[in-house]
Structures are given as C-alpha cells and as structure tokens.
C-alpha cells in the first residue's frame, strides 16, 4: 500500500464513433439550477446529446463556481465536475429585458430545470403556469428540499439535513456513536439521477401525448428512498435498524478487516461463498464444516468468535496476497482504498473512468465519465464546463435571432453579462 500515491496520468477520451447518433439530439434544456442536484441532472442530459443552456446570475454566476479548489478565476474543481457539455449565459433576472430573454429561451426549449426556493421562479414570471401556456410541450423539472406545496414548501434544506431527518444518517457509523453523514453529497446526487429518470419518462410520454408536464423531486423524498429496504423492514416488523458500522448484521463474514499492510472489505452473502473462503482462501476446511459456522444463522449467532479467527489469519499476510486468492476463489473482496489509491488503481484503469479534456484557460482538466454506456447512441464527446456567460453572444444571435446592435444593447444595459475573458 503506497503511503503517497501519485495522481494518475490522464489521456484524452476515445472519440465517438463517426456518424453515431446522440440519444437526445435536438432536445434543448433551459437550466436555471445551481450547485449539485439540478446541474448534475442537466449534465447527464447534456452528455446524452441535449443542448443545455445554463442560465446564471450576472453577479458571479452559479455559486458552485467558487467552491475550492480553484482551477481558473471563475471555476473551481467541483463546478467543473457537474457542468460539462453546457453553454452559459449570464442574465440579471431583476431586469425586465433579462426576464424577456429568459422567456424566449424557455419558449424554444423542451425542458426547464430549476432548484430555487419556492416562489422565486413565479416572481420572475417563469413558473410552470406562466411558461407552459406559451410552450405546452415543455417539461418543467422543479427540485426542492421539501416539495412545492404543503406545510414545508417554504423551508430551506440541504443534503445533510435530509440525511439526518429521513433516518438515513442514523444507520451510518459505529453502534456506540452518533450517526454519521456520508462524505459525498449522496442525496443531491441521487436527486439528480431520479430527476433525470423523471425527465426521460416525461419525454417519452410527450411522444405519445404531445404534451409536456410538471415534474417535482424533493431531497427529503429521495433521502427516504435511499434508506432502502431497511425502511420496509421497519414498517413490517416495527424493529428499528441499528448502526452496525463496517459489519453486516445479516451476513457473516461481511466486514472490513485488516491485513498485514492495509484494510480490505469482504462480503460473504451466502453459505456457498463462505465455504469457498474458508476452504480455498483461509485453508481452514474445519471452519467450513464446524457446526457453529457452517450455515448463516449459526455464523450470525457466533459472529464474534468467528471474526476473531478470521482476523488473526488475515493479519498474517499483505492484502494483495489475500485479494488475489479471493478473486481466484470467487469471494467478493476489495481493498479499502483512499481516494488517491482508488484513482490510481487497476480497476479505475480497466473501466476507463478518467480522462483529460481540453479547457480554454487551464489547457486541460480532468474528467470523470458517467457510469453507463449507450452502445447504440454513445454519449457526447465531453466538453469542459463553460466560463460565466461564455456563450451569451452565440445564444442571443443563433437561438434568439438578435442582431449585433441588439446584442450590444442587451449587454450595455447589464441585462446580459458580457462573456468573461
């Protein structure tokens, strides 16, 4: 295990096959969203070929741009992560001219995404009732913390708050300590993916009906979904799930364990896998045959005794030795990597998740591809996240038909932000 792994050397992604279609070619997204849940959704749509127009405030744009570490004067690494394959225009929606431009973009779009506080879009005349009258085919995706109606519609909320309130946080961590939030913003990201599913379903429904629709997704609702089958277990039995740390209360041995030079995680979810581990990996057929350990119910009851034996054996050799034996025997296991180790691993190389893509200021920036692949309609070649209002002239001229004088006037008034150098 390297104590200071080097960052991986990144190469350009393989180009798309010549002439291959894009799944969402011809679909346009007016993206008013910011931070993670909305922008990650629109990025997925952009990766599938949609034209995404990111509409940002003129005063600094999406606040996510300024989350560290900085890459350029106007872009941090987190912003780059969630905003590739988009165009940007900065609009001061407090000005009537900017609101008119925003409406013109929405009127020419198939999808609108927003995650403002409840009432903000209505204040700008951009709520669903207002814009759908002029564009009945519009699919309007609205993301919030607690929904757009009911007693909680005006309440602000963030990812870790919904982790806490949904019960999700209570299940993470060690049994004798307070529940832990996840490191990554899992509810924001899950909400983005769920919203993408809903948008794609609405597009399919529109092909049948000819009409768009209003879509809602709330972080709290997503967090409840992410509790998983443990929620159903509680509703059926009345028994609350407890924290079990890096162990599983249902399957043994499923746990984090130390080797001579680093931790691994092993998952023996059934008796067949345990038999292979005991006999082929640990070379202890006596454990496989022992009446206290042969079957899952007995292993669960005698977990503590069995885990002591397994841990003592694994501590005698390095993790590379054990992981190789487990792979050969068909026992699911993996190193508990640091981020540096994970991103330099053979698994990362084999899956081709990482690339370098051109950036007009930084030269090139890292890129992490989406986890799925569409073989008939491959994802779009990745284009780095746009600078603030980078595409304003193109959008006004090519999409809205503004001439040079009208573009200059809109920018001179401050309604539209001039592209940032």
Catalytic center residues: 188
The span from the CA of 300 to the CA of 306, in Å, is 9
CA–CA distances in Å: residue 235 to residues 230, 368, 371: 9, 38, 33
The one-character DSSP state at 282 is: S
The span from the CA of 356 to the CA of 88, in Å, is 21
The span from the CA of 384 to the CA of 80, in Å, is 7
Residue 106's SS3 state is helix
Q: Is the dihedral of CA 51, 56, 60, 62 positive or negative?
A: negative
Query: Which residues fall within 8 angstroms of residue 188, CB to CB, at 6 or more apart?
Result: 35, 36, 37, 40, 159, 219
Pairing of strands 28-31, 111-114: parallel
Whether the Cβ atoms of residue 386 and residue 359 lie closer than 8 Å to each other: no
Token duo for residue 128 = 């669903």
Residue 418 Cα to chain centre, angstroms:
31
Residue 218, burial from CB neighbour count under 10 angstroms (0-12, 13-18, 19+): buried
The span from the CA of 242 to the CA of 179, in Å, is 10
């Amino acid at each position: 295990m390297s104590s200071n792994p080097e960052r991986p050397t990144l190469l350009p992604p393989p180009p798309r096959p010549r002439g291959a279609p894009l799944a969402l070619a011809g679909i346009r997204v007016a993206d008013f969203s910011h931070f993670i849940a909305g922008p990650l959704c629109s990025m997925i749509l952009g990766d599938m070929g949609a034209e995404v127009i990111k509409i940002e405030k003129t005063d600094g744009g999406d606040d996510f741009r300024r989350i560290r570490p900085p890459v350029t004067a106007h872009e941090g690494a987190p912003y780059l992560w969630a905003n590739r394959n988009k165009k940007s225009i900065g609009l001061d929606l407090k000005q009537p001219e900017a609101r008119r431009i925003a409406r013109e973009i929405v009127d020419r779009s198939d999808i609108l995404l927003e995650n403002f506080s409840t009432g903000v879009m209505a204040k700008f005349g951009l709520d669903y009732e207002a814009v759908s009258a002029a564009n009945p085919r519009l699919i309007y995706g609205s993301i919030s913390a607690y929904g757009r109606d009911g007693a909680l519609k005006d309440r602000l909320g963030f990812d870790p708050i919904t982790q806490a309130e949904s019960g999700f946080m209570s299940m993470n961590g060690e049994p004798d300590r307070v529940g832990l939030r996840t490191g990554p913003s899992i509810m924001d990201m899950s909400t983005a993916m769920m919203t993408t599913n809903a948008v794609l379903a609405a597009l399919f429904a529109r092909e049948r009906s000819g009409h768009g629709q209003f879509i809602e997704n709330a972080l709290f609702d997503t967090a409840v979904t992410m509790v998983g089958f443990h929620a159903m277990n509680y509703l059926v039995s009345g028994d609350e799930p407890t924290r079990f740390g890096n162990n599983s209360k249902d399957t043994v041995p499923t746990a984090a364990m130390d080797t001579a030079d680093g931790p691994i995680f092993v998952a023996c979810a059934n008796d067949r896998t345990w038999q292979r581990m005991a006999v082929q990996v640990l070379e202890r057929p006596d454990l496989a045959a022992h009446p206290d350990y042969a079957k899952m119910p007995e292993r669960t009851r005698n977990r503590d005794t069995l885990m002591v034996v397994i841990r003592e054996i694994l501590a005698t050799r390095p993790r590379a030795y054990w992981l190789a034996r487990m792979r050969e025997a068909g026992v699911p296991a993996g190193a508990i990597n640091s981020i540096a180790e994970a991103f330099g691993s053979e698994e990362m190389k084999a899956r081709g998740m990482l690339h370098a893509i051109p950036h007009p200021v930084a030269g090139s920036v890292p890129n992490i591809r989406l986890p799925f692949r569409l073989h008939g309609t491959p994802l779009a070649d990745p284009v780095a996240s746009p600078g603030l209002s980078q595409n304003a002239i193109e959008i006004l001229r090519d999409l809205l038909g503004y001439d040079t004088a009208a573009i200059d006037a809109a920018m001179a008034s401050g309604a539209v932000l001039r592209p940032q150098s």
